[in-house]
Each structure stands twice: as C-alpha cells, then as structure tokens.
Amino acid sequence: AMSFLKRFPPPAEGVRHQQPDTEAVLAGRTLGAGTLYIAESRLSWLENSGVGFSLDYPTISLHAVSRDLNAYPWEHLYVMVNAKFEEEESKEAPMAEGEEDEDSDDDVEPIAEFRFVPSDKSALEAMFSAMCECQALHPDPDDEDSDNDYEGEEYDVEAHELEQGDIPTFYTYEEGLSHLTAEGQATLERLEGMLAQSVSSQYNMAGVRTEDSIREFEDGMEVDVAPVVAGQFEDAEVDH
Amino acid sequence: MEVSHSVKERTIAENSLVILLQGLHGHITTVDLRDESTATGRVTNVDAFMNVRLAEVTFTDRQGTVSHLDELFVTGRNVRYVHIPDEVDIRATIERQLQAIHRVRYFGGRDKGRKEFPRAKHK
C-alpha cells in the first residue's frame, strides 16, 4: 500500500461535488476505487476501504479533463500537484509521467500527477467545474504584487477625476476651519502670520521663524529659539 | 468576457494587466507554465488571480509529450507567460474591458444603483 494513504472521515462541509466509483491513479499506478470529494477546503479521495489522501488547493498547479484516449486509455480528471508523494518501495520502471529520480536537477520542483477516473464519464464536466470554483477560493498568498490589497477603502479613480468623489479634495474656508482641531487652528494662524509677514519682508521661505511663531513642535524636533534676522537669506538664490 | 461579480476582483483587474488577459476571452492563446510545459487553447476565463481556464487544449508537458485536453485550469501562480495573439489590439482590448467594468459599476446612473465604494465618513 502507498505510505501516504491514511484513514480519515469524508469531508462534511463545503463539498461542491462528490463522485463515487472513481479510480485514483498516481504516476500510472492505481490506488484503487473510491469516492472523490471536491470540497472547498481541500480535495480528498477515499478508497472504499476507508483510506485515502487529501490535496490542498495551493499545491495544485493545474487540473484538466482528458478525453484523449491516445494519451491515456480512460477519460479522466487530471490533477498536477506541486508535491512529492511516496510511491511503493520498488522504484522500477520509471514511466514517462513519473517524477522523482529522473530529475536529479534540484531546481525542478516536485510534481505528482494524479488521475481520477470516474466510472460515470459524463460527470467529468461537473468535477472539473467544481475544482475550478474551489481553486479560485485559494488565491496564492505569496503573490508578489502586494498592491492586491483592496480590503480597505477603494480609490474611486473616476469619481476623483470628475470631482464627485466622496472624499473632498479641498474644503472651502468655513468648511475646512470646522475640521481643524485646536492645534490645527493654531498652526493655521501661525502659517497665516508667516505669510502676512513675508509679504512685507520679501522672504517667503518655509520654516522661517519669527518671534511670534516660535512654538514647540509636537514631533520633538529641536527648534532654534533665536529669532531669524531679516535679511538672513539675502544671498539666497531663491526667486520669489 | 463577462465582468466578475466580485468588487474586489473588478478592482484588482482594473489596476493590473490581468485586465488584458480577461479581454482574450474566446481567443486561441498559448500559456507557458512555470514548469516549462505549454498549453494552447481557447481562453474561456481569466480571473483576477490570473487563474486561466482554456478549452480544446493542446498540452505539451515539460518532457515534450503532447496530449489533448478538453478543458484545462491553470493556477495563476503557475503561469509564466501568456502569449497575446497577433490579431489582438492590446489597447482596444484594455479599454473595452475597462468600459465593461464601468458599466457594471455605474449601472443605473452615476448616483443610482449599487455603490461600489464605501463612502468616507461625512462631517
């Protein structure tokens, strides 16, 4: 018997399709007749004697319906898995579809090929579709594209372009003022003070501090307490 | 191809080139897999995770053995390349798919119908 076969109860929940009287074949060797359970959590096959195995969808690379009798003499559901499964101890007759020893190349990922041959060939479509649905429930967690996180608020591109977005891009003065915290209002006053000053002093650089505007900054940055002398930046090349 | 029923999938598609693949519905395409096998068939579905479903497939495994499969589903993770057929106008395809998504999104008019995006808190 295959060493990876275990006894376990058939899945009870989320079974999208169940196909009795289905033979399971691994790398050309039959595992017997049993029932295939296509459940949302995993794919399971249980021989009539009660032992079987399960496959997790993230390990399944692809699945297909094969009716090409030249390739394999019975119509079946083909499942390619990214994992190693122990075959019987005797490793004779390496078949073209087998894996393991033939690929001494360590870079090649292990591949196991399962075939599920239902006695009712007309069920293959339903089996295939059920697997597609279940597979789609298990997207690749290792997906490098981290931008796929759309669980939060979504950015309505078109709405923004048409300025109909729910999130205002700017406020009118009165509206905006009401949104400011006390500290925000203080900051606003300070900035406005600076602007007013700079109109007269001709210098309008960010960060210019006058006596009126020295305050402690919340972020703990060290503040230069000495007031800036007007004319300090005379030699600056900034054009306003 | 029919636009996905899932808001999340529509958003993913809209923001990635998967949207181009979704526009290949009905075209004969070759998909190169990660393990160097290839599958040529008619695209019947591509979802936001780049899972590809093909029909009437000629499958060449990594050893070069050719077989025919009625239907094939490859997980996105195992897709290396999707060949865009020469007859496909890429830009037009993307625009058409985007329009399809927007039609679904704004069904019933701009301020009617189902709201796709949660509203920001109002003042």
* Global ipTM: 0.83
**Which residues of chain B make contact with A135, given a CB cutoff of 8 A?**
51, 73, 75
A168 vs A159: CA distance, rounded Å: 11
Domains of chain A: 6-87+110-136 (2.30.29.30)
Closest chain B C-alpha to A68 CA, distance in angstroms: 6
Residue bearing the bigger pLDDT, B60 or A145: B60
**Closest partner residue to B35 among A111, A140, A147, by Cβ?**
A111
User: Looking at the complex, does the CB of residue A59 fall below 8 Å from at least one CB of chain B?
Assistant: no
B72 vs B58: CA distance, rounded Å: 10
| Residue where the block lists tokens 């406020």 | A171
pTM of the model: 0.66
pLDDT class of B123 with cuts at 50, 70, 90: very low
B37 vs B62: CA distance, rounded Å: 4
Q: How many CB pairs under 8 A join A and B?
A: 105
Q: Mean pLDDT score of chain B, rounded to an integer? A: 87
Residue spans of chain A under pLDDT 70: 1, 87-108, 142-176, 178-179, 198-240
What integer pLDDT is reported at residue A107 of this predicted model? 59
What integer pLDDT is reported at residue A184 of this predicted model? 79
What is the secondary structure of chain A as a DSSP string?
--TT-EE-PPP-SSEEEEEEEEEEEETTEEEEEEEEEEESS-EEEEETTSEEEEE-GGGEEEEEEE--TTTSSS-EEEEEESS-----S---S--TT--GGG---TTSPP-EEEEEEES-GGGHHHHHHHHHHHHHTS--TT-S-GGG--SS----HHHHHTT--SS-S---HHHHHHH--HHHHHHHHHHHHHHHHHHHHS---TT---GGG----TT------SPPPTTTTTT-----
Is residue B27 predicted with pLDDT exceeding 70? yes
In chain B, where the domains are located = 7-102
Share of chain A above pLDDT 70, in %: 57
Mutate to test the interface with A, among B71, B103, B110 (most CBs of A within 10 A): B71
What integer pLDDT is reported at residue A218 of this predicted model? 47
What integer pLDDT is reported at residue A10 of this predicted model? 94
**Closest partner residue to A140 among B7, B59, B76, by Cβ?**
B76
Burial readout A31-48 (b: 16 or more C-beta within 10 A, e: otherwise): bbebbbbbbebbbbbbbe
Instruction: Write out the residues of chain B at the interface with chain A, using a CB-CB cutoff of 8 A.
Output: 7-8, 11-12, 15-16, 33-35, 45, 47-49, 51, 53, 57, 59, 61, 63, 65, 67-78, 102, 110, 116-120, 123
- The residues pairing with A6 across neighbouring beta strands, listed in sequence order, are A52
What integer pLDDT is reported at residue A93 of this predicted model? 47
What integer pLDDT is reported at residue A3 of this predicted model? 80
A183 vs B72: CA distance, rounded Å: 61
Q: Helix, strand or coil for residue B31?
A: strand
Q: Encode pLDDT of A135-194 as tens digits.
A: 999 988 766 554 555 554 445 555 555 555 455 556 666 666 766 777 777 888 888 888
Q: Which CATH number applies to B7-102? A: 2.30.30.100
Closest CA to B96 of B13, B4, B19: B19
| Residue where the block lists tokens 């003065």 | A173
Written as six digits, the tokens of A70 are 């030249």
**Closest partner residue to B71 among A65, A147, A150, by Cβ?**
A65
